[in-house]
Amino acid sequence: MIRSVIKGFGAYLPERRLTNFDLEKMVDTSDEWIVERTGIRERRIAANDETTGSLAIRAAREALANASLTPNQIDLIILATTTPDETLPATATKVQAALGMTSGFAFDIQAACSGFMYALSVADNYIRTGAIRNALVIGADTLSRIVDWTDRNTCVLFGDGAGAVILSAEEGQGTTTDSGILSLILRSDGANRNMLISSGGVSASQSVGKILMEGREVFRFAVENMSKIAHEILSNNGFTIADVDCLVPHQANIRIIDATCRKLGIPSDKVILTLADQGNTSGASVAMALYDGITRGRIKHGDLLLLETMGAGLTWSAGLIRY
């Protein structure tokens, strides 16, 4: 059985730091409130001459080098983003051109904070069917461009960044001891789409709009559904929570992560956390947490990883990967 195995990884964070103390000067908030309610201390903001595409290109170059692959060995680029550089064409084609990749194909995918997992799932299916061998999967966002910087309910939460992985085809036994993506579950619930939405869009208003969120409802939805989907994916694959070496959750709010961990019964020392320094980077969040875990040596070869996301749509997902 063909498996999609992580062969390389990369990430990029813009240099500019926006701390909670900076935000105190912009809206009626405090460092104490933000830390207590979210766990976030600072986030990175893209410079004026940076875009989602330029962040993605930096992460992609590192992932390629890490995998020791040349651009033309990549068959497919999928970029998960909610903040593309232009309305058309896909920002993934900008990455393709910048890498000097003259073959294969590239496209964007949009599932907000679950985007990276949706992109992994599409790439995994292309690989497992034998249609392609190597995919570059990127999560990148510049949510700072669509945040309402006068709305304290949302502007304290988000940051910019990009994370990337190279997935490559490898022969496995078809058992859960294989390396690579073992299982992914994607979910969406359009009936609750208004809980987290932008105030405009290309066709609706010929503008990009700003983020609007019913925070409390999204919070409740996240805790309930992230623990449920985690149980589902573990039992589908014959695992229990004790088998998981590392939880790599979407970095939205420390209280969502803590509550989910309590419901799952997973100890906090198994959880990868980046949100204190990065905030919620939307499509990049899980990709960058993965990068952080691997580069800091928290994630080791052979570890069983449980990934989870929750975002606008509403969308949510879980994944089991043996690194």
Binding to ligand ACO by residue 257, rule CB under 6 A?
A: no
- Give the DSSP per-residue string, 140-171: EEEGGGTS-TT-HHHHTTB-EEEEEEEEEEEE
Q: Which of 169, 310, 318, 321 binds ligand ACO (CB under 6 A)?
A: 310
**Is 192 assigned a catalytic role?**
no
Question: Could you tell me the smallest distance in angstroms from the CB atom of residue 151 to ligand ACO?
Answer: 8
Single-letter residue type at 236: N
What is the 3-class SS of 197-247, one letter each residue?
EECCCHHHHCCCCCEEECHHHHHHHHHHHHHHHHHHHHHHCCCCHHHCCEE
Single-letter residue type at 116: F
Distance, CA of 34 to CA of 39 (rounded, Å): 7
Based on CB atoms, which residue is closest to ligand ACO, 11 or 256? 256
Q: Which of 79, 123, 156, 307 binds ligand ACO (CB under 6 A)?
A: 156
**Is 250 assigned a catalytic role?**
yes
Question: Could you tell me the smallest distance in angstroms from the CB atom of residue 214 to ligand ACO?
Answer: 8
Question: Could you tell me the smallest distance in angstroms from the CB atom of residue 164 to ligand ACO?
Answer: 19
Question: Apex CA 115: angle with CA 109 and CA 121, to 5°?
Answer: 85
Based on CB atoms, which residue is closest to ligand ACO, 195 or 290? 195
Binding to ligand ACO by residue 259, rule CB under 6 A?
A: no
Looking at 34-42, 65-73, 97-105, 120-128, which segment touches ligand ACO (CB under 6 A)?
34-42
Single-letter residue type at 67: A
Binding to ligand ACO by residue 46, rule CB under 6 A?
A: no
Residue 116 three-state SS: helix
What is the rounded (10 degree) CA torsion for 71, 72, 78, 80? 10
Q: Which of 252, 257, 259, 275 binds ligand ACO (CB under 6 A)?
A: 252
Active-site choice (113, 155, 246, 261): 113
Binding to ligand ACO by residue 317, rule CB under 6 A?
A: no
Q: Which of 186, 196, 248, 272 binds ligand ACO (CB under 6 A)?
A: 196
**Is 280 assigned a catalytic role?**
yes
**The two structure tokens encoding residue 2:** 């063909």
The answer to whether 73 and 66 have CB atoms below 8 angstroms apart is no
Using CB under 6 A as the criterion, which residues of the chain lie in contact with ligand ACO when the complex forms? 29, 33-34, 37-38, 112-113, 152-153, 156, 196, 215-216, 218-219, 222, 252-253, 256, 280, 282, 310-312
Would you please indicate which residues are annotated as catalytic (active-site) residues? 113, 250, 280
